[in-house]
Amino acid sequence: MPERIGTTVTEHILTHQQESPGATGALTAILNGLIVAAKVITREVRKAGLVDILGETGRANVQGEEVKKLDDFAQAVIVRRMQQSGHLCLMASEEEADPIEISDSYPKGNYVLIFDPLDGSSNIDANVSIGTIFSIHRRAPDGDPGLKDVLQPGYKQAAAGYFIYGSSTMLVYTTGNGVTGFTYDPTVGEFLLSHPEIKTPKQGKIYSVNEAYSPYWDAQMGKFLEYLKDPAKSGRSFTSRYIGSLVADFHRNLLYGGIFMYPADTKDPHKPHGKLRLLCEAAPLAMVAEQAGGYASSGTQPILEIEPTEMHQRVPLFIGSRRDVELAEKFMKGEM
């Protein structure tokens, strides 16, 4: 039976929990904790510019990037809220060099949360859409919680998704059984079902990439971009759309079809594999993309199959409509 538009996210999660034999409710509790955190972050995002929440903190994160005040706020809200869930044994954040341990003041569970508290934060001061990306893994059955529980390939994710703070706040998530979207209604304080069973088109007409970096790409990436720009070769008239906020670019292409690309480049010798993080950005969005019928690749292999070796490992990313990403793979492998 189709779900009603306007169903709350809590109702949706509980319904699917009841339909899953052996469900303990732990994943439901974790998702509900993230939802509460997102509501608090939404409140502050809506006040940006009116209160002293914009601008930089004066410190850099583990990636060497300037930390925004709103970054700090989102990080603190998620950590505080999720510490109390009782279902996590460990967390990992883009903003922290090492895993975040659960305080002994709270009970511990069997799940690991990996997150980017505020993706696209370099655009905060310009009022561009930003987001929170999350990935949830089950911990390994043996040994104490540790880095090994964070360093799991994407195909082992129990759930993944993102909140996007734009003209409205949305939650898009999957637990491995399709992708569902909810829009926040501030008048009732609830995320309501707005996008049931999201399916991304098999191919699209949008490509999203920072073309200013083209001098630093390899020859195959250059050839692929030339192909996309030439209707005589591609058979389509592509449109370039690049916001510079991963969540925003991905979300648009998920709904309309197309491909987002952040290839490796030689601009920064310290980032030979590109800028995006495997665990807190690429892998969770890859799970969402594939559950919606799309695909995600490093250019040479599926993102979900990469075995991570570092918590802040970076990876090239080609993600979106399946046929477009598969075509990108052929170019990057030198097959076209």
The mean pLDDT value of the chain amounts to 88
Q: Which residues of 319-332 are buried (b: 16+ CB within 10 A; e: fewer)?
A: bbbbbbbebbbebb
Alpha helices by DSSP H, listed for the chain, are 9-18, 26-47, 69-83, 147-150, 219-229, 231-234, 246-256, 283-291, 322-332
Question: Domain 9-195: what homologous superfamily?
Answer: Fructose-1,6-Bisphosphatase, subunit A, domain 1 (3.30.540.10)
Model pLDDT for residues 155-177, shown as the tens digit of each residue: 999 999 999 998 899 999 999 99
**CB 71, CB 118: distance < 8 Å:** yes
pLDDT at 269 over 90: no
CA atoms within 13 A on the CB side of 275: 14
pLDDT at 194: 93
Cα angle: 8, vertex 280, 167; to 5 degrees: 45
DSSP state of 304: G
* Secondary structure of 196-228 in HEC code, one letter for each residue: CCCCCCCCCCEEECCHHHHHHCCHHHHHHHHHH
Mean pLDDT computed over 126-144: 89
DSSP state of 167: S
Domain ranges of the chain: 9-195, 206-332
pLDDT at 57 over 70: no
**CB 133, CB 247: distance < 8 Å:** yes
* Cα–Cα dist 199/237, whole Å: 22
Model pLDDT for residues 27-36, shown as the tens digit of each residue: 889 999 999 9
- In percent, the amount of the chain with pLDDT more than 70 equals 90
Least confident range of 95-109, 118-132, 223-237? 118-132
Mean pLDDT computed over 196-224: 95
Provide the whole-model pTM: 0.91
pLDDT at 20: 64
* Cα–Cα dist 327/323, whole Å: 6
For residue 104, CA distances in Å to 81, 108, 109, 134, 170 come to 15, 8, 12, 23, 33
Residue 320: strand, helix, or coil: strand
Residue 296: strand, helix, or coil: strand
**CB 29, CB 37: distance < 8 Å:** no
Mean pLDDT computed over 96-118: 92
- Sign of torsion over alpha carbons 216, 97, 315, 115: negative
H or E segment and range at residue 310: none
- Sign of torsion over alpha carbons 182, 184, 185, 187: positive
Nearest residue to 297 via CA among 286, 309, 281, 311: 286
Mean pLDDT computed over 95-110: 91
* Residue 14: both structure tokens together: 């509980």
pLDDT at 21: 57
Binned at pLDDT 50, 70 and 90, residue 58 comes out as: very low
CATH number of 206-332: 3.40.190.80
pLDDT at 213 over 70: yes
pLDDT at 123: 75
Tell me whether strands 66-68 and 190-195 are parallel, antiparallel or unpaired.
unpaired
pLDDT at 2: 53
Least confident range of 85-89, 269-273, 319-323? 269-273
DSSP state of 15: H
pLDDT at 72 over 60: yes
pLDDT at 273 over 60: yes
pLDDT at 40: 92
DSSP state of 127: T
pLDDT at 1: 43
pLDDT at 50 over 90: no
Q: Please, is 281 exposed, middle or buried when counting C-beta atoms within 10 Å of its C-beta (0-12, 13-18, 19+)?
A: buried
Question: 113 or 273, which is more confident?
Answer: 113
Question: 88 or 143, which is more confident?
Answer: 88
pLDDT at 263: 95
What is the full DSSP assignment across 68-104? EHHHHHHHHHHHHHHHTTSSEEEEEETT-SSPEEPPT
pLDDT at 319 over 50: yes
Tell me whether strands 169-174 and 180-185 are parallel, antiparallel or unpaired.
antiparallel
